[in-house]
Amino acid sequence: MSTLRGHRAVSLIGAGLLVAAAVHHGAEIGAIGSSAGPLLAFALDGGIAVAVLVAGRRIARRDLSPAEEQRVARWIATGTVLAVAAFAATLAVRAFEGRPLVEPAFPMLVAAGVGSLGGAIAGYYAVRQSAEARRARDAVRAVSFVNHLLRHDLRNDLSTIRGYADLLDDPDGSGHAETVAAKASEGLERIEATSAVADAILGDADSSRVDLADTTRDVLAGVADGESAAIETDLPDAAPVAANDGVRSIVHNLVENAVEHGGPGVTVRVAVRADGDEAARLGGDDGVALVVEDDGPGLPPEVRDGSFLTDEAVGGASDGGVSGLRLVATLAEAYDGSLDTGESSLGGARFTVTLPHAPADSAGSDT
C-alpha cells in the first residue's frame, strides 16, 4: 500500500482548515443576517489555511525525499494538535470558572491554522538543517577517506617511481623507463578514482555503467606485478554494475587487504558473479557480487565484531586494512550495495561486495 506523500498531507490539512472556516462562517452569515463580520473573520482564518496550502506546494517543489516530507508533515500535525490543545485548555478553564464561552469556533480555527503554519516552517527548517548536518558529516568522511587513499596508495606508487628513476642512470637501466611510465599512469588513475570516491560518498555522482569484471582484471594486473601472493580468479567476460570509477577502490582495497594480512605466500581467490546467486545467498536483491577470499589467518577481531565501521576507525592512526574495509563498506552503501564478511572455504577471510546491476540503457562503458 502506497504511503501518502508529506506535501499532500500538508495540503490536505490546509484544505481541511479552509473548508471548516468556509462552512463555519457561511453558517454565521445565515444566522446573523450580515456578511461583513463573518467575511472579515474568514479572511483571517481562511487566509492562514491558504498559507498552509501554499506551504504544501512549496514543500513539493523543494525536492525533499519522501521521508523528509513525512517529517515535515509530522511537525505540522504536532503544531496543529498543540495549538488546538492549548486553546482547548483555556476554554476548559473558562468553563470551570463558570464564565461564558463566546463563539469558540473562530479562535479555535485561528489557533489550528497558526499551529499548522508554524509547524510547516519549523519542520522545513529542521529537515534542511538535518540534511546540511548529514552532508557535513559525509564531507568529513570523504576527506578522511581521500586523505587515506592519497597517503597510502599514491605514496606507494611515487616511491616506486622514485626508485626506478634512480636506476635509469645505470648502464643496464633498460626497461626501467617503462616501469616509471606504468607507475605514473597508475598514480593518475588513482587520482581519478579518488575523485570518484569523494563524489560517491558525498552523493554528487550519478551512477553510470561500469564493468566490474574488467575493472577487477585491471586491478589484479597491477597487484600481480609486485606481490608475493598467488592470485586465483574466476571472472566473467562482463559484469556491468551501476556505480562510478570509485569501484576500482573497492576491488583494490579488498585485494590489498587479503595480500597484506594473509602473510607471505598467501593464496587470494577473486571472483565476480553476475548471475545474482551470491546476492540471493546473502539475502539481498539480485545483483553482481565481488568475492575476495584467502587462506590467511582469518577475520581480525575488529572486523568480526564490526567495530571497523565506527568513525574512530577512519583516523590516520588506525590500521590501513581496517580503514580500507571501512572505505569499501561506505562505497558499497553509496552505490546501494552491501558488504558481507565471513569465513572462507580456503580457511581465511571472505569479503563479498554486492552491487546493483547496471540498467541496459545506462550511460557508461562496459570496458
CATH number at residue 217: 3.30.565.10
Same domain, 115 and 217: no
Domain that holds residue 305: 206-367
Q: What percent of the chain has pLDDT over 90?
A: 8
Q: Which residue has the cell 569479503?
A: 351
Cα distance between residue 289 and residue 239, in whole Å: 9
At residue 297, the pLDDT reads 83
Same domain, 131 and 210: no
At residue 108, the pLDDT reads 86
At residue 308, the pLDDT reads 57
Q: How confident is the model at residue 214 (pLDDT cuts 50, 70, 90)?
A: very high
Which long-range contacts link 282-287 to residues 24+ away (Cβ below 8 Å)? 282/338, 282/340, 282/352, 282/354, 284/338, 284/354, 285/356, 286/357, 287/241, 287/337, 287/354, 287/355, 287/356, 287/357
At residue 154, the pLDDT reads 65
Same domain, 18 and 129: yes
Does residue 193 lie in a domain region? no
Q: Domain boundary residue among 88, 113, 137?
A: 137
At residue 90, the pLDDT reads 87
Number of helical H runs and strand E runs in the chain: 11, 8
Confidence check: pLDDT of 315 > 70: no
Whole-structure pTM value: 0.50
Same domain, 235 and 358: yes
Q: Domain boundary residue among 107, 137, 167?
A: 137
Higher pLDDT, 134 or 354: 354
Q: What is the mean pLDDT of residues 284-302?
A: 81
At residue 271, the pLDDT reads 93
Confidence check: pLDDT of 100 > 70: yes
Does residue 181 lie in a domain region? no
Give the chain's mean pLDDT: 77
At residue 222, the pLDDT reads 73
Q: Which residue has the cell 593518475?
A: 188
- pLDDT tens for 187-211 read 666 666 666 666 666 665 566 788 9
CB-CB contact of 166 with 137 (8 Å): no
